[in-house]
Amino acid sequence: KYFSALEPYVKDGTIFVVMPARSGCDFLFRKIMGAKAPKLGFAACDTLPWACRAKDWGRTTEVLGTKETVGAAVMPPVGVAAEQEFHKLQMLLGEQPRIIPCPNVMSISLGSPGQVVHPGITYSRWRSWDGKPLDKKPLFYHGADDFCASIVAGICDDIQAICKKLRKLDGKFDTSQVKTIHEFYTTAYSTQCKDTSTLQRAMVTNSAYDGLTHPMKGDDKIGYTPDFQFRYLSEDVPNGLCFNRGLAELLRVKTPTIDTVMYWCQDKLGKEFLTKGGRMAGKDIGMTRAPQALGITTSRQLLEFLQIKPVPIYKVPCATCGSVAGAIATMCSPA
Neighbours of 4 (CB within 10 A): 10
Mean pLDDT of the chain: 90
Q: Are 89 and 231 spatial neighbours (Cβ–Cβ below 8 Å)? A: no
Half-sphere exposure (Cβ direction) of 252: Cα atoms closer than 13 Å: 11
* pLDDT beyond 50 at 92: yes
* pLDDT beyond 70 at 319: no
Most confident option among 10-19, 170-179, 277-286: 277-286
CA dihedral 8, 9, 15, 21 (to 10 degrees): -50
- DSSP type of residue 12: T
- DSSP type of residue 238: I
Q: Averaged over 300-318, what is the pLDDT?
A: 73
| Each residue's pLDDT tens digit, 119-148 | 999 999 999 999 999 999 999 999 999 999
* Percent of the chain predicted with pLDDT > 90: 67
- Cα–Cα distances in Å, from 61 out to 192, 211, 229? 20, 16, 21
* Percent of the chain predicted with pLDDT > 70: 92
What pLDDT shows up at residue 22?
78
What pLDDT shows up at residue 52?
84
Q: Are 172 and 157 spatial neighbours (Cβ–Cβ below 8 Å)? A: no
CA distance 201 to 194: 8
Catalytic amino acids?
118
Half-sphere exposure (Cβ direction) of 20: Cα atoms closer than 13 Å: 25
Of the candidates 277, 284, 290, 285, the residue with the CA atom closest to the CA atom of residue 250: 290
More confident residue, 309 or 23: 23
* pLDDT beyond 80 at 320: no
More confident residue, 211 or 317: 211
CA distance 265 to 230: 12
